[in-house]
Amino acid sequence: MEIQEIKQRFGIIGNSPLLNRAIDIANQVAPTDISVLITGESGSGKEVFSHIIHQMSPRKHGPFIAVNCGAIPEGTIDSELFGHEKGAYTGAIGERKGYFETVNGGTIFLDEIAEMPLGTQARLLRVLESGQYIKVGSSKVEKTNVRVIAATNVDVYDAVKSGKFREDLYYRLNTVPLRIPPLRDRKEDIYLLFRKFTADFTAKYRSPPIQMNEEAQQMLVNYSWPGNVRQLKNIAEQLAVLERDHTISAQSLLQYIPQESSGSNLPMRINQQKKDDFSERDILYKVLFDMKRDMTDLKKLVVDIIDHGGVPANYSGNPQILNQLYRDIEVDADHHNHHQNNHPQEPTLTIQQPTQNNKDFNITQEAEEVEESLSLMEKESDLIKKALKKHKGKRKFAAQELGISERTLYRKIKELNLN
């Protein structure tokens, strides 16, 4: 059957090359009896293609059933698919036939196959490979002759890599992959579909025919349509029921399109934000910019100290950073003095602070420039000593400062002879 005939028979509207390719694959695979995995976003029309494959196959006179695997609870899905014996579990007051038994000789469409539990996946794999299954609570092997068409709106291969989907079942189902294109990739079909939907709904609700001006048509085509055909049909129904003006403008259409998910080509209303109303992101950006500015001031200060042997007289940065720098230099110098008994005296670096009216700049500090030790044990010992000194020997708070447990701190003190 030709593609155009299939479109007319199943009510498919559109001339997109991607859509035509999907119809062609469904037409070719239908006469065979192999499994098909249909992939596509939610609302793109995957179930329609399952009907095409069934109706174009030798099983067209057999039963067809669509099962949403994500809508069946994990505890009952095995019973739903394969049936159960009386007393198989609490509440099983009688024997029940499963879908694979009732659809014998026909086609079963398993939608949202990626939501199927791993245990049920193993049972399904056996059905696909041998046509055999066992009811819940039974030990008798049953036979069935069912064609399986599966569909999903997620990347099944990613689910395989994360351990949520069986790899052997994936390759068994994916014998013929069939991808349904999203509506945003079928821009030439969007307005055709909209006209069909509005015509159907205006006739159903006996409302005036819906038309669109050019600007509204452009907005309709440029929208990303995350809900695909289902969302377009929903908006067409809303317009047919709610709009009193039969000519739809871009401003009117904007009221029905969710702004949070609108495409980049759509105009969006922006609420005016108060001057002092900062979001968390704004505050974070402000803190980061302040930190960057302080670091830049600190770098400039260090360069001037190295080049001129003192703080520049025109320094206008943050005085707290300068004071902290001097305190760090002084602490490091005092610490290294305890380890220099066996080393020759090194030249001293005098850091002269300029005398200014600011009280933070009236102290002369001296620090020794010493060779830095690269011993990890010595560094570890220094950090522990500093933490203990800072917290006045309280090991609990020192351990928290160091980011280790008290037990680890006790062991380190013993190993490094810091008692």
CATH number at residue 389: 1.10.10.60
Do 119 and 41 fall within a single domain? yes
What is each CA distance from 252 to 208, 212, 214, 240, 266, in whole angstroms? Answer: 16, 10, 13, 13, 13
**Pairing state between β 147-152 and 36-39:** parallel
Does 112 lie in the same domain as 14?
A: yes
Phi, psi of 150 (to 5 degrees): -110, 155
pLDDT of residue 419: 66
* Residue 266 forms part of a structural domain: no
- Is 190 found in the same domain as 246? yes
Is-contact 352 310, C-beta < 8 A? yes
Which value, to the nearest 10 degrees, does the dihedral of the CA atoms of residues 398, 402, 405, 406 take?
-20
145/284 same-domain check: no
| Token couple for 257 | 């399109």
Return the H-helix or E-strand segment holding 168: helix 167-173
* pLDDT above 60 for 393: yes
Structure letter (DSSP) for residue 315:
-
Q: Who has greater pLDDT, 31 or 282?
A: 31
Question: What length does the chain have?
Answer: 419
Residue-wise pLDDT for 328-382, tens only, equals 555 554 554 554 444 444 444 444 444 444 444 443 444 444 444 556 677 778 8
> Do 210 and 303 fall within a single domain?
no
- If asked whether residues 39 and 154 sit together in one domain, one would say yes
| Cβ contact 349:367 at 8 Å | yes
Same domain? 296 vs 412? no
Segment 73-124, tens digit of pLDDT: 988 899 999 998 887 777 778 888 999 999 999 999 999 999 999 999 999 9
CA distance 32 to 27: 10
The least confident of 131-140, 171-180, 238-247, 313-322 is: 313-322
Tell me the percentage of the chain whose pLDDT exceeds 70: 75
Query: Same structural domain for residues 134 and 204?
Result: no
- The tens digit of pLDDT for each residue in 170-193 reads 999 988 889 999 999 999 999 999
pLDDT (0 to 100) of residue 10: 94
Nearest residue to 418 (alpha-carbon basis) of 246, 367, 410, 69: 410
Q: What band does 383 get if pLDDT is binned at 50, 70 and 90?
A: confident
Distance CA 180, CA 186 (A): 11
How many domains in the chain? 4
Measured CA to CA in angstroms, residue 29 lies from 2, 36, 131 at distances of: 14, 8, 20
Residue 383 lies in a domain: yes
Distance CA 328, CA 365 (A): 11
Among candidate residues 354, 356, 373, the one with its CA nearest the CA of residue 364? 354
Single-letter amino acid code for the residue at 91: G
Residues 6+ apart with CB under 8 A from 369: 346, 347, 348, 349
- Whether the CB-CB separation of 398 and 413 falls below 8 Å is answered with no
Region 380-396: mean pLDDT is 83
CATH number at residue 220: 1.10.8.60
Residue holding tokens 């009952």? 76
Q: How confident is residue 409, by pLDDT bands cut at 50, 70 and 90?
A: confident
**For residues 303 and 312, what is the distance between their CA atoms, to the nearest angstrom?**
10
Residue 10 and residue 47: Cα distance in Å, rounded?
12
Is 272 a domain residue?
A: no
Residue of 319 and 248 predicted with greater confidence:
248
C-alpha 328/C-alpha 305 separation (Å) is 15
Q: How far is CA 363 from the centre of its chain?
A: 55
Same domain, 61 and 78: yes
> What is residue 139's DSSP assignment?
-
Residue 316 has a pLDDT of: 55
262 vs 278, residue with greater confidence: 278
pTM over 0.75: no
Arithmetic mean of pLDDT over the chain: 80
CA distance linking residue 319 with residue 359, whole number of Å: 10
Flag whether 274 is in a domain: no
Amino acid at 47: E
Domain with 191, as residue range(s), is 184-261
Q: Residues with Cβ < 8 Å from 217, sequence gap 6 or more?
A: 191
Residue 137 lies in a domain: yes
